[in-house]
Every structure is written in structure tokens, then in C-alpha cells.
Structure 1
Amino acid sequence: MKTRHLKLFNSYVPYQSENPRNLVTNKVISIMASAVYFCDSKGYPLLARRYRDDIPISAIEKFPTLLSDLEEETNLVPPCLSYNGMQYLFIQHNDVYLVAIANSMSANAAQIFAFLYKLVDVLGNYLKTVEEESIRDNFVIIYELLDETMDYGIPQITETKMLKQYITQKSFKLVKAAKKKRNAARPPEALTNSVSWRSADIKYKKNEAFLDIIESINMLMTQKGQILRSEIIGEVKVKSRLSGMPDLKLGINDKGIFSKHMDDDSLNNEGASVASSTTDKKKNNIELEDLKFHQCVRLSKFETEKIITFIPPDGDFELMNYRLSTSIKPLIWCDMNIQVHSQSRIEIHCRAKAQIKKKSTATNVQIIIPVPEDADTPEFKYSHGSIKYVPEKNVIIWKIRSFPGGKEYSMSAQMQLPSIGNIEEHKAKRPVQIKFQIPYFTTSGIQVKYLKINEPKLQYKSYPWVRYITQSGDDYTIRLT
């Protein structure tokens, strides 16, 4: 009897392909879901796929009642419900519920929820919008996807790139790529291969791999320069244009960011985020909050040697991301001074400084300064860049295309206030927002030591490219009050 292996959260789970009921491994039983249902906004089933016969067909009929009873009692409905020995685990997306039913308290809830969210992503790529109407119009496609993404309650292939090789959509009908050769049709190799995210027949004339390390800085500062909150959100993105089945080895000089003693509980992949261990704050003053890897990364290799080895998916994907809570100085700092005169006018003075190394240059800098809603007739003076008033957003935007490290620029603005009121009322309460990019630079000090590419069969020459970018995050602001 042939044995197939599936890669789940970086571990291999064996099962018998001819008779799945022969499963006896405790790890497998603990993650099984007996059925998956799509229900409308009231909890009534639209579509169902039963993977095991250990729950009654009528099990889903109790779900609408349980849902309505909880909604009457509280506004916060827990995502796990238990009734008559059955566990209902569900998520809500638009006007539908995705419900997984298990018959044991030992079911791995985190695994089931990860599968349900991934299923929504897969359906979104096929249906564009996952809602009740689109589900009713695409029963055939959804049934096929449910069959391929889960088998006997165990998650299988959930990579959209692989599913689209043999399941396509046309006029709400399922079309198989091997339709003309049904007698000789076989599933793609990725289904029987442990590398479920990549096909082996990929070919390129020029083999290249592009690696981008992007760090976004979120920071909240006071007008006097005090740092109230700061964090670094890092992403390592890869664009793979490599033939065959390449094996990549990435060495990172992390400046002590990643602990050398991480255990298996502090790392996760398949998009599951887990709080990780921290480094010695006295030495590095850096705390690693979250570390997340793509499923292709071999976690054991990283834990022991701090080397990232993986077989990449084809095209663009996020290899890893991390979040660091650390005290850093502002890279772009603005000294703000706002004066409101009794003669119904407001003056704004801003001195900006690039507090980065002289060899570095910030680009596309935008300093967004809020102004009162009734301000008008702006007059500007500035030493560099360009300034414009955006009345629909009640802001002044100062743009500096190139801002070398160590440089200082200044601007001043005067605007009329038609109505005379309390001076404090006219002072802007919204913060100043700063946007920027700094190429060839990382705040955390993370660097790529090497990126080795090896394809054992083709033995081609490859060309890796590495790029660093530091940029402002969604919350890089200066509080004015």
C-alpha cells in the first residue's frame, strides 16, 4: 500500500491513501474536522461537505438556534460553540458563516480556524467576492475546491497557484485542464509531493531571485521630541523566477534581533503568528514581538543554525515578517511651532531635519500639517521642496523629493481665520503625519550575508538581487497637544 505525506505546519503527517480510516496517529486525530458548512447570515446551511461519518447529518440544524440564542444574550458571539458532544467552530465573512464541526474536544481549533480563513482567501481568488449570492452561483467550483483543500478532515492543498493549474472557472462552470484526456488525467505532481506550493515543471530563460527587506517605522512623538511609542515592522519579500525545484539558502546577519534559543513554540508558519522569545534587552534593547514564516521555510534549520532554507513558490510571496518594539530616534524629525494671533490669523513654522547618516538619503518625504477648518488665503515661504494647501482635507502638504542625511529645511505658512474665536480652539488637534522612504538602509541592522541558489538537476547559473528599504508606517506622527 502506498503512503503519501502531507506537510502541515512544517511537520509530516502520514496517511493511507487507499483507506483513510486506517489512521491511528494521535496528531492526525486531534486536527480532524468532520464537516464544513457554508451558512447564510441566520445560520441556515447553503452548502455542505461531509468528510467523515462520525456526526449526524442533522448536526448543522442546531446551529441557527445556538447562534440566535447567543446573539440575544450578548453582542459578542464566541467562535466556538459546544452542543451535545459536538464542537461548532465558525468564522463570519460578509453575509455568510463558514462552520466546521468536530466531534471531539481534542480538535485543534487553531488549525481549523487557519483552514477556514485560508479557504476564504482561495474562494476570493475564484469568486472575487465571497457572499451568499456568489456561493449559490458556484456550487460546482466550491465542491471541487472543498474536495482538494481538505481530505478526511485534514487540510491538503491551499495554495491558489497550485489549485488554478487544474481547476479554472468559466461562466460559473468548472473546467478541468485535462478535459480532452480524461482517461489519462492525473492530478498535478504537487498533490502527491511534499512541496505543495510549487510545480516541478517551471522553466525560465533567465533564472533570477529578487529579495526585498522592507522595514516600516511606526512612531508617536510629542511636540517636544519625546518618544511615546515606536516599533519596526519588517517584511522579507521574494520574487522567484527560477526553473525546476531550486533550494535556496538565506543567511541573515540579524544584529541580535532573533534569539539564538528559540524553541518550536516561538515560531510558526502557514501565516499563524505566535509571540516569540525576547533577546537580552540590556544588551540590545530590542524585543521581538512576532515572527512569522511562509510554510516553505524549514523551521528546524533556522532554530539550530539561524539559516533560512526553503524551496520557494513561483512568483511573488512573503518569505517572513517580524515586529520589533525598540526605542529608536526619529529618522525624520520636525520642530513645529504654531501661533494663533488675535487678529484672526494663524502662523505655522516647521523645521525638518533628516536624522540619518550623511551617506543615506530620504526620498519622497511628505510632511502633512493639519490646519483649522475655516482657514483660507495661504501664504508660504520655504527653503526646499514644494508646498500646497489641500482644503478638502484641511492640511498643508510639504513635499521634499530628496532629503540627504544631516540636512535641515524650514518652511512657514500664514493663513487667515475668518472668524475670531478662542485661540486654543483654532490650534489643530490632529497630529502631524510624516511619510518617507530611505533606500539601502534598515533601522534594525538586519542584513543579508548571502543568498545561495541550488537546483540539483538543472545546475543553472542564477542571479540573486537584494534590496533594502526603510519607510514610514501607517502611524509616524507628531502630537501637537
Structure 2
Amino acid sequence: MACSAIYFLDMKGKVLISRNYRGDIDNSVIDKFIGLVNELDDDNNMTPLIKTEECTFAFIKHSNVYVVATTRKNSNVSMLFSLLHRICQVMKEYFKEVEEESIRDNFVICYELLDELLDFGYPQTTDAKILQEYITQEGYKLEVAAKIPSTVTNAVSWRSDGIKYRKNEVFLDVIESVNLLAGASGNVLRSEIVGAIKMRVYLSGMPELRLGLNDKVLFESTGRGKSKSVELEDVKFHQCVRLSRFENDRTISFIPPDGEFELMSYRLNTHVKPLIWIESVIERHDHSRIEIMVKAKSQFKRRSTANNVEIMIPVPSDADSPKFKTTIGHCKYAPEQNAVVWTIKSFPGGKEYLMKAHFGLPSVVGDITEGKPPINVKFEIPYFTTSGIQVRYLKIIEKSGYQALPWVRYITQNGEYQLRTQ
């Protein structure tokens, strides 16, 4: 993958900063970009990829700026988009928000980063922690060039030498998001689990970690096929993981970056039983009132508890004079969202709660073409995973032989969790 140039533009298409890496495309081509975007927008055919005779534009919109890569080659487009997002992520590490004003205020740092992130259009060091070792906020004031750390040229470019901690600890979070769409009749139309293993590593030296999961492929290859295991799909690893080792014997072996990072992500395209089931009866009486009754039921084990549950029930845009009655939690009318928000701080497994709402409707007939938006649910269930994934072991090996404490936590939360209404 090689890109010719990177541009940051404001919403009118004016270039804020740019870096031409290869010189094979004239800088003037970017002047046509905003016109091409507006044409696509007018045709309702918006796409993040625009091909012209001179080049191909790949772009993302971040806050109030366009981040654009141009290329003449048959590049790997998914890698281009990944690079654009990575550039924004690195800049966020430096000045919190990537927007027009922050780019203008930090253009010296932006140019230094663009010089280090890519070389002749090829991605180089994209780890913010390593970049911060030699590109500092006051970097442009230095009279002597900063010494580039050896990690940039080391085999382990994501971790510095000589890290020391008084207390060696590893925190590992297994976080699963449940995406679910259920029909009004109660059938699950779409469901999947999107998971990530996130780590915070505070270890001295250059440790090697080995992580064991209840991976179905591993269990079957070692004759434990009947044990509880999980078949992971679309697995993506941080660059520190030794992929050849994983492909050979499913061992997740790695020298971790220092601090916080995402070790891996995965997906399970599987039938998920709704963790929180919602039944609703919505009666609309034209010219007078609308009555809503909602029953929420937790369909997970009693020993687990969902925290900060938020159920958003849509109401007509012309509703007024709200009245609520509920067996638990509290309700509020959110007119800016045309919804009732029912909040339950703690929702134990195997429980069922009711909420009734009454709204007045004005004498003017509402828009009969108004759709029926789904009910949205937010929640977080600690110490629980929907997929059943388990961390079987986390071994920490370091030549000095110190003892380290690994801490593992499981969390299940909502993704796009929607239930259609009658």
C-alpha cells in the first residue's frame, strides 16, 4: 500500500495542512475534491472513495475536517482507510481533539507527525507512545535534533527498553457488545457478538506473555472438543502478537506495549437470546392521547446483574403532557429525541418490571406517514460474557523472574440493540 499525499481540509475544501510524499500527483488535484464530494452528496450516492483520471481520493470525515489520501496505484483501500483513522488517533494523543482549530494551533506538530508516520507514502511508526519519545510538544523549539529511540529500528518497535515498575501488574478486560434486532412479533432478525480483549500492562523489562482462551480450534486439536469452547471469527490482533505461532498451535504469544492497548478483537455471528427482552403495547387515540405499556424482562442468570439500563421508547413528535408510572427506576420525557427514557440502575437476572406512560395529543392530526422507530436498549453486565469466552491462563515470562499479578474482568454491554414495536 502506498499513498501519494495526505491532506487535511476544512468543510469548504480549503487545505489546512498537506504532505506530498511521492510527487507523482500534482497538488492542484485537491482543489477538485470538495466539488466532487458535493456532487455525490446531491445525488445521494455518498461514498468514501472517488476515482478520477488523475488519481483516486480516499477520505474520512473527522469532526469538521476531511482527511484525504490520494493515490495513483492500485492500493489496498482498506489499509488506506485504516491509515487515515490511525493518523487521527495519533493526533488525538497529542492535542485531544482533531478539528480545524486544533490543527491550525498545532500545525508544526502535525507536519512533524506526518513526516514520521509515513515515508515515501508507506506507513512507518504509527504508535503514539513511541512517537512521543522524540516528537514533543516543544519539539520545534529545540536547537539540537532529538535522538530517535532505538525502538523505532528494533524488532519490538512498540516497546521501549528499560521500563521499571515497583509493582508488576497486568489488567485484562474481555468486553463483548451484543448487536441485536428483534421483530415486533418477538423473533430475532439479526444478532451477533463483537468482542475485544483490552489490556493495561505495567510490567518491568521485556516480558513475554502467553494467553490461553477456550478456543474451539485449539480444544478440538488437543482432544478436548466436548469441553466448553468458543469458535471465534474475524479475529484481528495487535501487531505485537506472533501470528505464525497462533497459526501453528493457536498460542497467543506476545511482548506487550507499555500501558493501555487492544490486544485482539473478534466476532461471533451467532444466534443470541435477547439478554433484556422488551414487550410493548402502544395505543394511539387520535386527537386525544397515547398510552404506552412496556414490560422489560432480564433473560440472563439470576447471579448476574445489568447496570445502568436505559430503555428508549419512541413517542409521536406531537405528544405532550407526559405522565409515568413504573415498578422500578425512573422515567423522563426527552422531546429532542421523541422518546421516553426509562432508566433502571440495577436490573438483576430473571426479573420483570413494568412501565406505563400517558401522553396527550393535540387536536391537529399527526403525520400519518410517521414511521415506527424501534425501542433502543443500553446496558452493561459485569462478570459475564454472552459467548462464554474464558481466559484459561495468562503466563508472564521475564528473564529477571519477577512475580506479577494478572487481573481478569469480563463485561457484556449493548451494541446496536433494537426491538421493533407493533
Q: 1:446 aligns with which of 389, 394, 398?
A: 389
The residue number in structure 2 matching 1:263 is none
The residue number in structure 1 matching 2:89 is 121
Distance in 1 (CA, whole Å) between partners of 2:322 and 2:40 is 52
Q: 1:384 aligns with which of 320, 328, 331?
A: 328
Query: CA separation of 1:209/1:175 partners in 2, compared to 1, >3 Å: closer, same or farther?
Result: farther
How much has 1:45 moved relative to structure 2?
10
2:302 pairs with 1:358:
yes
Q: 2:199 aligns with which of 222, 238, 241?
A: 238
Distance in 1 (CA, whole Å) between partners of 2:67 and 2:410 is 41
Deviations 1:39-58 (A, max 9, x none): 7676989654556xxx66xx
2:401 pairs with 1:459:
yes
Paired amino acid for 1:60: D
The residue number in structure 1 matching 2:225 is none
Q: 2:113 aligns with which of 145, 152, 159?
A: 145
2:63 pairs with 1:63:
no
The residue number in structure 1 matching 2:136 is 168
Q: What is the RMSD of the two structures over their aligned residues, measured on CA atoms?
A: 3.8
The residue number in structure 2 matching 1:204 is 165
Equivalent runs, 1:266-277 vs 2, <5 Å: none
Question: Are 1:351 and 1:408, in contact at CA under 8 Å, matched by a contact in 2?
Answer: yes
Deviations 1:204-246 (A, max 9, x none): 2111111111111111112321111111111111111112212
Question: Are 1:376 and 1:415, in contact at CA under 8 Å, matched by a contact in 2?
Answer: yes
Percent of aligned pairs with the same amino acid: 48
2:252 pairs with 1:308:
yes
The residue number in structure 2 matching 1:7 is none
The residue number in structure 2 matching 1:159 is 127
| Larger gyration radius, structure 1 or structure 2 | 1
Paired amino acid for 1:480: T
How much has 1:370 moved relative to structure 2?
2.1
Query: CA separation of 1:392/1:162 partners in 2, compared to 1, >3 Å: closer, same or farther?
Result: same
Question: Are 2:48 and 2:59, in contact at CA under 8 Å, matched by a contact in 1?
Answer: no
Distance in 2 (CA, whole Å) between partners of 1:294 and 1:307 is 14
2:421 pairs with 1:480:
yes
Distance in 2 (CA, whole Å) between partners of 1:161 and 1:401 is 37
How much has 1:198 moved relative to structure 2?
1.4
Question: Are 2:333 and 2:339, in contact at CA under 8 Å, matched by a contact in 1?
Answer: yes
Structure 2 unaligned segments of length 5 or more: list them. Answer: 42-46, 222-228
2:342 pairs with 1:401:
no
Q: 2:312 aligns with which of 364, 368, 371?
A: 368
Q: Give the 3-state SS of the residue equivalent to 1:243 in structure 2.
A: coil
Question: Are 1:285 and 1:327, in contact at CA under 8 Å, matched by a contact in 2?
Answer: no
Structure 1 unaligned segments of length 5 or more: list them. Answer: 1-30, 261-283
Q: Give the 3-state SS of the residue equivalent to 1:356 in structure 2.
A: coil
Q: Give the 3-state SS of the residue equivalent to 2:116 in structure 1.
A: helix
Q: Give the 3-state SS of the residue equivalent to 2:140 in structure 1.
A: strand
How much has 1:350 moved relative to structure 2?
1.9
Query: CA separation of 1:337/1:209 partners in 2, compared to 1, >3 Å: closer, same or farther?
Result: same
Moved more, 335-344 or 108-117: 108-117
Question: Are 1:351 and 1:410, in contact at CA under 8 Å, matched by a contact in 2?
Answer: yes
Query: CA separation of 1:310/1:139 partners in 2, compared to 1, >3 Å: closer, same or farther?
Result: same
Moved more, 41-50 or 406-415: 41-50
Question: Are 2:16 and 2:103, in contact at CA under 8 Å, matched by a contact in 1?
Answer: no
Distance in 1 (CA, whole Å) between partners of 2:370 and 2:71 is 56
The TM-score, its normalising length taken from structure 1, stands at: 0.72
Query: CA separation of 1:101/1:334 partners in 2, compared to 1, >3 Å: closer, same or farther?
Result: closer
Distance in 1 (CA, whole Å) between partners of 2:296 and 2:200 is 36
How much has 1:330 moved relative to structure 2?
0.9
Equivalent runs, 1:219-230 vs 2, <5 Å: 219-230=180-191
Query: CA separation of 1:241/1:342 partners in 2, compared to 1, >3 Å: closer, same or farther?
Result: same
Paired amino acid for 1:386: H
Q: Give the 3-state SS of the residue equivalent to 1:218 in structure 2.
A: strand
Query: CA separation of 1:109/1:325 partners in 2, compared to 1, >3 Å: closer, same or farther?
Result: closer
Paired amino acid for 1:375: A
The TM-score, its normalising length taken from structure 2, stands at: 0.80
